[in-house]
Amino acid sequence: MGKILAVTGCPTGIAHTFMAEEALKKAAAELGVDIKVETNGAVGVANELTEEDIRDADGIIVASDKDARTYRFAGKRVIEVPVADGIRRPKELIEQILAGGGTVKAGGAVKAEAASTGAGQESIGRTIYKHLMNGVSNMLPFVVAGGVLIAVSFLWGIYSADPASDQYNNIAAALKRIGGVSFSMMVPVFAAFIASSISSRPGMVAGFVGGLLANETGAGFLGGIIAGFFAGYLVLYLVKALSGLPRQFEGLKSIFILPILGVLLTGALMLLLGGPVAAINESMMNFLANLQSANPILLGIVIGCMSAFDFGGPVNKAAYVTGTILLGQGNYYFMAGVSAACITPPLVIALATTIFRNRFTEDEKAAGLVNYVLGATHITEGAIPFAAERPLVNIPILMMASSISAVLSYLMKIQVPAPHGGFLILPIVTRGYLWVIAILIGSLIGAVVYGLSRKPIPAAEAAK
C-alpha cells in the first residue's frame, strides 16, 4: 500500500483544521493506509510536508478553506475539498485518491489533467471563497487582539481614554490606543492576504495599500474585498505579461515594476471607487443598525440561523465579520447577538449529553463534556460531529437554539465590546449576567429538544 498526504486548514485555524486531521488519520488507520497530515493552524503550519514526502506520495488530499500552497504539488494527483468534507467524509476521500481520482496539479506551463472522477476540480465560486477566507484568517488575530484591548480599556469607564473626562486613566488610554492600531489594520491585512492568496507575495503590497486606501476613503470592508481581488488578479496578469523578459530582469521586475504598477493601479481604482463604495457600506451598516432597533426579533433569528448553519463556515463567518465591522464603528449591541449565537450550539450538545445520559454513548458523553469548554470560549465548531450525525434534524434544532439566545441578547440590549472570548470577557460585557441567562435559556431549550429527538440507547450499546 502506498503513501498519501493531506493538508487541512480553516479560516480561524482552531477547530476545523484539527478535526479534519483527526478524521483523516482515523479513516486511514481503518483502511490500512499510511498518511501524513499537514495542519495550517492558528499558530502556523505543523507537520509540514517535505519535498521528499511530496515526491513519494501517491496522491494528496487538500481539505482546506484557505490557501494551502498547492503549487508545491505540481505533477501530483490532488483532491481539493472544503475542510468540512475532511471531517464528514474522510474515508470516501482516501478511497477516491487510492482509486486514482483527483486532478494532476499544473506546474508552470503544464496543464492539469482531470481524472475520470473529476474530483478535485474547483469551481470559480470555491476559488473566490478560498481567497476570501485567506484574508479573513489572517485578519482575525488583529481583530481579536485589538477588540479585546479596546474592550479592556472600558473597565476604567466608557470615557477613560478621553483626557477631558473625569474617568481618564493613562493605562486605559494606552490600551485603547494600542488596540485601536491593531483594529485599524483589519481591512489592509484582509485585502493584502486576499491578493497574496491569488498572486503570492507580489500581490501583497498592492493589496495592502489598497486596503489602507479603503480605510482612508471610508470604503471599509467592501472596499477591502475590491482592493484585494483587483490587486491579486492585476499582479497575476502583470506577472504573465512580463514573463517574456530576460532572466536578468527578474530582480527589476519583482522589486520595481510589479510593486509600482500594482500599487499605482490599485490605488487609483480605490481613489475612484472609494466614495461610492463608502456610501454603499454606510447604507448597509445603517440598515443593520436600524433593524437591530426596529426588529430585534427578526435580526436575532437571522443571526442565530446564520451562526448555527455551518458552525464556523462561510455563513457563520459572514455574521461574525459583520459583527466585527460594526464593533469597529462603536456598535457593541450587534456583537452580543452574534457571540451568543456562536456560543450556544456547543452548550446545547453539552447540556443534552448531561441531561439525557441514557440517549448517548460513553464517547458522546465525553465529547459533550468538552463542549462545555468549547462553548464557554466561543468555539462553535465543537457541535460539528453531533450536527453531522443527523444534519436535517440536528442543524435546525441548533439554529433554533442560537436564534433564541441572539433574540434575547438583542431584546435585553446587552453590549459586548470584544469580538471573541466567550465567557472569558464577561467582566467587560454590559449586563453580563443577563447575557449568560440569555445564552443558557437558548441552550437549555435546544438541549431539551435535541435530547428528546434521540431514542434511548440500550445499556450494552451505550458503553461503546
Each residue's pLDDT tens digit, 335-348: 899 999 999 999 99
Separation of alpha carbons 89 and 460, rounded Å: 27
Is residue 86 domain-shared with residue 160, that is, in the same domain?
no
pLDDT score of 221 more than 60: yes
> What pLDDT, on the 0 to 100 scale, is given for residue 1?
52
With respect to residue 199, please indicate whether it lies within any of the assigned structural domains. yes
With respect to residue 9, please indicate whether it lies within any of the assigned structural domains. yes
Is residue 112 domain-shared with residue 139, that is, in the same domain?
no
Per-residue pLDDT of 74-127, as tens digits, reads 888 899 888 888 888 899 999 898 888 888 876 543 333 333 333 445 567 778
Is residue 79 domain-shared with residue 176, that is, in the same domain?
no
With respect to residue 291, please indicate whether it lies within any of the assigned structural domains. no
Per-residue pLDDT of 385-420, as tens digits, reads 788 778 889 999 999 999 999 999 999 999 888 777
With respect to residue 379, please indicate whether it lies within any of the assigned structural domains. yes
> What pLDDT, on the 0 to 100 scale, is given for residue 127?
81
Separation of alpha carbons 256 and 250, rounded Å: 10
- The stretch 367-374 carries a mean pLDDT of 86
pLDDT score of 129 more than 90: no
DSSP 414: -
With respect to residue 190, please indicate whether it lies within any of the assigned structural domains. yes
Is residue 154 domain-shared with residue 221, that is, in the same domain?
yes
Looking at 73, 106, 122, the residue that finishes a domain is 122
- The stretch 65-78 carries a mean pLDDT of 84
Q: What is the dihedral of CA 253, 209, 40, 379, to 10 degrees?
A: -170
Distances (CA, A) of 94 to 65, 86, 90, 113, 200: 18, 10, 6, 20, 29
pLDDT score of 10 more than 50: yes
The band of 134, judged by pLDDT with boundaries at 50, 70 and 90, is confident
Q: Higher confidence at residue 453 or residue 462?
A: 453
Considering the candidates 4, 10, 227, 347, report the single residue annotated as catalytic.
10
Separation of alpha carbons 275 and 218, rounded Å: 7
Is residue 401 domain-shared with residue 254, that is, in the same domain?
no
With respect to residue 290, please indicate whether it lies within any of the assigned structural domains. no
The answer to which of 132-136, 163-167, 316-320, 459-463 has the lowest mean pLDDT is: 459-463
- When mean pLDDT is compared over 47-61, 264-278, 303-317, 376-390, the highest value belongs to 264-278
Is residue 448 domain-shared with residue 352, that is, in the same domain?
yes
Is residue 264 domain-shared with residue 303, that is, in the same domain?
no
For cell 505579461, the residue is: 241
Is residue 132 domain-shared with residue 118, that is, in the same domain?
no
Distance of CA 419 to the CA centre of its chain: 13
For cell 464577561, the residue is: 426
> What pLDDT, on the 0 to 100 scale, is given for residue 462?
53
Is residue 99 domain-shared with residue 238, that is, in the same domain?
no
Separation of alpha carbons 389 and 375, rounded Å: 19
Query: Could you tell me the residue range of the domain that residue 257 belongs to?
Result: 125-281
- Identify whether 10 is a catalytic site residue: yes
Residues 302 and 315: beta-carbon distance below 8 Å: no
Q: Higher confidence at residue 445 or residue 202?
A: 445
Is residue 249 domain-shared with residue 272, that is, in the same domain?
yes
In what side-by-side order are the strands of the sheet with 3-9?
44-46, 34-41, 3-9, 59-64, 77-81, 103-104, 113-114
With respect to residue 289, please indicate whether it lies within any of the assigned structural domains. no
% pLDDT > 90, the chain: 30
Burial status of residue 48 (CB atoms within 10 A of its CB: 0-12, 13-18, 19 or more): middle
Looking at 70, 97, 122, the residue that finishes a domain is 122
> What pLDDT, on the 0 to 100 scale, is given for residue 14?
67
For cell 504573465, the residue is: 240
> What pLDDT, on the 0 to 100 scale, is given for residue 287?
78
> What pLDDT, on the 0 to 100 scale, is given for residue 57?
87
Burial status of residue 29 (CB atoms within 10 A of its CB: 0-12, 13-18, 19 or more): exposed
> What pLDDT, on the 0 to 100 scale, is given for residue 120?
43
Instruction: Work out how many domains the chain is built from and give that number.
Output: 3
pLDDT score of 350 more than 90: yes
With respect to residue 73, please indicate whether it lies within any of the assigned structural domains. yes
> What pLDDT, on the 0 to 100 scale, is given for residue 116?
34
Is residue 106 domain-shared with residue 58, that is, in the same domain?
yes
Distance of CA 109 to the CA centre of its chain: 33
The mean of the pLDDT values for the chain is 84
Is residue 258 domain-shared with residue 340, that is, in the same domain?
no
Q: Is 7 left (phi over 0), alpha (psi -120 to 50) or beta?
A: beta
Per-residue pLDDT of 417-443, as tens digits, reads 877 778 888 888 888 899 999 999 999
Residues 76 and 57: beta-carbon distance below 8 Å: yes
> What pLDDT, on the 0 to 100 scale, is given for residue 24?
92
Per-residue pLDDT of 293-339, as tens digits, reads 778 899 999 999 988 887 766 677 778 878 877 777 778 888 899 99
Looking at 122, 146, 174, the residue that finishes a domain is 122
Q: Higher confidence at residue 351 or residue 292?
A: 351
Distances (CA, A) of 278 to 75, 195, 220, 222, 272: 44, 21, 7, 8, 11
CATH of the domain at 27: 3.40.50.2300
The band of 446, judged by pLDDT with boundaries at 50, 70 and 90, is very high
The answer to which of 170-174, 291-295, 355-359 has the lowest mean pLDDT is: 291-295
